[in-house]
Structure 1
Amino acid sequence: MKKIIMVCIALLLALSMAACTKQEDSVENEEVKQEAASGSEQSQEAKDSSEDGKEGERKTLENYKKLIGLSREEIIDAMGEEPSVIDEGGLEFSKASIRVWFIEDGKTVDQIFIDDSDVDFNGARLGGNIEDFKNIFGEPVMEDHESAYSNFDYEGLVLHVTYDKSTGKVFAVYLMKEWK
């Protein structure tokens, strides 16, 4: 996280120095500053949303939701670790215990696989019972008892919860734009 912040600071300083040395008029300088501030705010939001819980904080569903729609470069920067390439063009971030896949263009995060029992799903957790998710997120919009999954609507996204059909224990969650 410190490295990412230092890179952002260095980038802002470089942009500021470049603007000063070119002696651009004040309107152009203001545009550069606004673009740098805007990029810095977006990067910081993505970084905040992807904290890998070094101190056990920030592992919330809301923060993972913010990763949906990021570009390949933005998610890599936000996660602060070098990912491994996995099936179907996805990326695995082992420190954060997540995998991400992209929409057809291969550039925009479309779904996140979460395999971390420290993540707070608004009160439910991996290792808990599927009934905990139903109590929190309401009736599933789609459910398959044979395949042992339930899909919930979460603020316009699909929360796909997989569980062991014999015990009801949840072992993985996908957060995705749509169920395919």
Structure 2
Amino acid sequence: MKKIITMGIVLVLGLSMIACTNKDESSMSQEEIKQESSIEKEGTKQDITSDSEVSKKENVTKEDEKNSLEKYIKLIGLSREEIIDAIGEEPNVVDEGGLEFLSEDIRVWFGEDGKSVNEIAIYNSDIDFNGASVGGKIDDFKNIFGKPVLEDNVSGYSNFDYKGLVLSIAYDPSTDKVVGASLIKEWK
């Protein structure tokens, strides 16, 4: 009988030890869950911040591109439909089959095939030509793009080689003020 009582006490103590251990593990699990949740929340917060930062960077990039020469370089070679879609405006038809986009303050002309953009004339003074702009002086362009590959001081234009394209700058020869710029697909 003593053996049965002793076994009963051992069994009760054993069960209570197991119950206490499970309770501690369960408390620990809940604590771990809380920590993991806070880490996940922090991670989510960091991800949101990261996404927000990425979004801001994309907006800055888009804003920078909006006023950069690179935006117009990407338009060279597009078809009539593609350029209308890219700019998102119905253009006015201008001389020699060109198109004028008032929102961008540009005009485009198509190559000999009449199908792809060959020249873009830019009149917008907000466009950044690597530090120079329409409305500035021709010397600003010469300082940035170097010696012109072709120049006519009487007619008032200077052509520069720029990334395989011709960057033609028109200016008033009496004031040296730039009145427009054109990107032209390299001619043969």
Normalised to the residue count of structure 1, the TM-score between the two structures is 0.67
Kindly indicate whether residue 165 of structure 2 is the aligned counterpart of residue 177 of structure 1: no
* Alpha-carbon distance in 1 for matches of 2:170, 2:187: 13
Change (3 A) 1:149 1:165: same
Q: CA deviation at 1:179?
A: 5.5
Question: What does residue 124 of structure 1 align with?
Answer: 132
Q: Which amino acid aligns with 1:84?
A: N
157, 164, 168: which one aligns with 1:156: 164
Kindly indicate whether residue 85 of structure 2 is the aligned counterpart of residue 77 of structure 1: yes
The 5 Å alignment of 1:24-173 reads: 58-173=66-181
Question: What does residue 37 of structure 1 align with?
Answer: none
* Alpha-carbon distance in 1 for matches of 2:64, 2:90: 21
CA offset digits 1:64-97 (Å, max 9, x no partner): 1110001111000001000011111110001110
Q: CA deviation at 1:56?
A: 8.2
What 5-or-longer segments of structure 2 have no aligned partner?
Answer: 1-61
* Alpha-carbon distance in 2 for matches of 1:148, 1:98: 20
Normalised to the residue count of structure 2, the TM-score between the two structures is 0.65
Identity over aligned residues, as a percent?
Answer: 67
Q: Which amino acid aligns with 1:62?
A: E
For the residue of structure 2 that corresponds to 1:77, the secondary structure is helix
CA offset digits 1:90-134 (Å, max 9, x no partner): 100011100000011211000001010000001000111100000
How many residues of Structure 1 are paired with residues of Structure 2 in the alignment? 128
For the residue of structure 1 that corresponds to 2:126, the secondary structure is coil
Contact 1:56 1:118 survives alignment (8 Å)? no
Which is helix-richer, 1 or 2?
Answer: 2
What 5-or-longer segments of structure 1 have no aligned partner?
Answer: 1-52
For the residue of structure 2 that corresponds to 1:63, the secondary structure is helix
* Alpha-carbon distance in 2 for matches of 1:56, 1:117: 14
- Please report the RMSD computed on the Cα atoms of aligned residues, expressed in angstroms: 1.9
Change (3 A) 1:156 1:57: closer
For the residue of structure 1 that corresponds to 2:186, the secondary structure is coil
* Alpha-carbon distance in 1 for matches of 2:172, 2:187: 20
